C-alpha cells in the first residue's frame, strides 16, 4: 500500500514539474503584462480625476463616444492605415528580391549581407537624426536632386503635409529591409537545389524559376513577413517622434503617437487607454488573419 502511494506521488510530481518551471515566467507575465492590461481596460470606462490615478470616476462609454467624434483620432487612424497600405507591400516584396540577390554564391557576398543588415542594428534615434539631416532643405537629398536638375529649390520633406508621412515611411522601409531579408534568406536556403535543377530541365530558368518555384515555396514566409510588418506598421512611433512629432498639422501623426500624446502630454490617461484598446483590436484582427491564412495554407497542402 505504501509503495502505491509513493508511486502515485512520484507520478504527480513528474506531471507538475514542467509547470513549476513555467511558474516564475508566468508570474512575471501576470505582473508586467496581464495585470496592467486589465487595469488599462478598466480605465477605458473611467475618467481620471488626478495625476496619481487614485480617483477614477466611472463614465461608462463616454470615452468611446468622445473617440467616435474625435477628428484627430480618425486622422491618425487614416495615417496608420495608409502606412499599412504603402509600407507593408514594399516590405514584403523588396526584401525577397534582396534575399534572392544575396543568396547567390559569389565572392564577398557576406559583406553585402552585412551591409544590407546594418540599418537593423542602428538605433532608431540615431537613424532618425541622420535622416533629419538628409531631409533638411539644404540636406544631401535636396542637393543631389538639385545637381541632377530634377528640382530647382529644396523640398520641405518633413515640414510639408504632403511629404511628411511619406518621408517617415521611407525611413521605416530602409530600417526594415535587412530584417525581413534575413527571414527570407533562411527560407531560401531551406529550399533544396535539386528543385531548381529539375525546374531548369523543364525550361524554367532565370527569373522565371523564381515565379514558378521560389514564390510558391516561400508562401509561409511571405505570410509571416506580411503579418509582422503590418503589426509593426500599426505600432510605428519612434520615427514619428524623432522626425516630425506628428506634424505638420497632424499629417504624420500615427495612432500610437496620438496615444502617447494623450497619455504623457495631455495626461488624459483614460482616453489614452481607450485609444490603446482600439489599437489592440486592430493588432488582434491582424493576428487572427495570420492564423486563418496559415490554416488555409495547411488545408491546401
Do residues 103 and 41 share a domain? Answer: no
Domains contained in the chain, number = 2
Least confident of 52-56, 60-64, 164-168: 52-56
What is the tens place of the pLDDT at every residue in 24-52?
Answer: 999 999 999 899 889 889 889 988 766 55
Do residues 31 and 171 share a domain? Answer: no
| Chain mean position to CA 266 | 26
Q: Tell me: pLDDT of 109 over 60.
A: yes
Q: Tell me: pLDDT of 253 over 90.
A: yes
Residues 6 or more apart whose CB falls under 8 angstroms from that of 245 comprise 257
Q: Which of 60, 79, 114 is the last residue of a domain?
A: 60
**What range defines the domain where residue 29 resides?**
19-60
What is the tens place of the pLDDT at every residue in 205-228?
Answer: 777 777 778 888 888 888 889 888
Q: What's the pLDDT at 171? A: 94
Contact by Cβ (8 Å): 58, 45: yes
Q: What's the pLDDT at 51? A: 58
Do residues 32 and 86 share a domain? Answer: no
The answer as to whether 82 is a domain residue is yes
Q: Tell me: pLDDT of 300 over 50.
A: no
Do residues 80 and 45 share a domain? Answer: no
Q: What's the pLDDT at 57? A: 84
Q: Cα–Cα distance between 154 and 231 in angstroms, integer?
A: 34
Sign for the pseudo-dihedral over CA of 106, 108, 110, 111:
negative
**Residue 75 — pLDDT band, cuts 50, 70, 90?**
very high
Do residues 46 and 148 share a domain? Answer: no
Do residues 110 and 192 share a domain? Answer: yes
Do residues 134 and 110 share a domain? Answer: yes
Contact by Cβ (8 Å): 152, 69: no
Do residues 49 and 86 share a domain? Answer: no
What is the tens place of the pLDDT at every residue in 120-168?
Answer: 999 999 999 999 999 998 888 999 888 888 888 888 999 999 999 999 9
Do residues 286 and 178 share a domain? Answer: yes
Residues 6 or more apart whose CB falls under 8 angstroms from that of 275 comprise 67, 73, 255, 258, 259, 262
Residues 6 or more apart whose CB falls under 8 angstroms from that of 180 comprise 91, 92, 95, 225, 228, 229
| Closest-CA residue to 267 (of 65, 49, 75) | 49
Question: Would you state the cell numbers that stand for residue 253, as one nine-digit string?
Answer: 501623426
The answer as to whether 296 is a domain residue is yes
Do residues 181 and 287 share a domain? Answer: yes
Q: What is the pTM of this model?
A: 0.84
Amino acid at each position: 500500500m505504501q509503495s502505491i502511494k509513493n508511486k502515485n506521488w512520484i507520478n504527480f510530481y513528474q506531471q507538475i514539474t514542467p509547470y513549476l518551471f513555467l511558474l516564475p515566467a508566468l508570474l512575471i507575465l501576470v505582473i508586467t503584462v496581464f495585470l496592467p492590461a486589465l487595469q488599462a481596460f478598466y480605465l477605458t470606462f473611467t475618467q481620471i480625476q488626478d495625476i496619481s490615478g487614485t480617483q477614477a470616476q466611472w463614465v461608462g462609454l463616454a470615452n468611446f463616444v468622445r473617440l467616435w467624434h474625435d477628428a484627430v483620432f480618425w486622422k491618425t487612424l487614416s495615417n496608420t492605415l495608409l502606412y499599412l497600405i504603402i509600407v507593408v507591400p514594399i516590405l514584403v516584396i523588396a526584401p525577397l528580391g534582396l534575399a534572392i540577390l544575396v543568396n547567390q554564391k559569389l565572392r564577398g557576398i557576406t559583406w553585402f549581407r552585412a551591409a544590407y543588415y546594418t540599418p537593423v542594428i542602428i538605433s532608431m534615434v540615431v537613424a532618425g537624426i541622420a535622416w533629419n539631416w538628409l531631409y533638411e532643405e539644404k540636406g544631401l537629398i535636396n542637393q543631389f536632386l538639385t545637381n541632377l536638375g530634377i528640382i530647382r529649390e529644396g523640398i520641405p520633406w518633413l515640414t510639408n503635409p504632403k511629404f511628411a508621412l511619406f518621408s517617415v515611411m521611407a525611413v521605416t522601409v530602409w530600417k526594415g529591409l535587412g530584417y525581413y531579408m534575413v527571414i527570407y534568406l533562411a527560407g531560401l536556403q531551406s529550399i533544396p537545389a535539386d528543385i531548381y535543377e529539375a525546374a531548369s530541365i523543364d525550361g524554367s530558368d532565370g527569373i522565371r524559376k523564381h515565379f514558378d518555384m521560389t514564390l510558391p515555396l516561400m508562401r509561409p514566409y511571405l505570410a509571416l513577413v506580411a503579418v509582422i510588418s503590418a503589426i509593426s506598421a500599426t505600432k510605428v512611433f519612434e520615427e514619428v517622434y524623432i522626425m516630425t512629432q506628428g506634424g505638420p498639422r497632424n499629417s504624420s501623426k500615427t495612432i500610437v503617437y496620438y496615444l502617447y500624446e494623450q497619455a504623457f502630454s495631455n495626461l488624459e490617461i483614460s482616453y489614452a487607454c481607450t485609444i490603446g484598446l482600439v489599437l489592440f483590436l486592430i493588432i488582434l484582427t491582424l493576428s487572427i488573419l495570420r492564423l486563418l491564412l496559415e490554416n488555409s495554407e495547411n488545408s491546401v497542402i
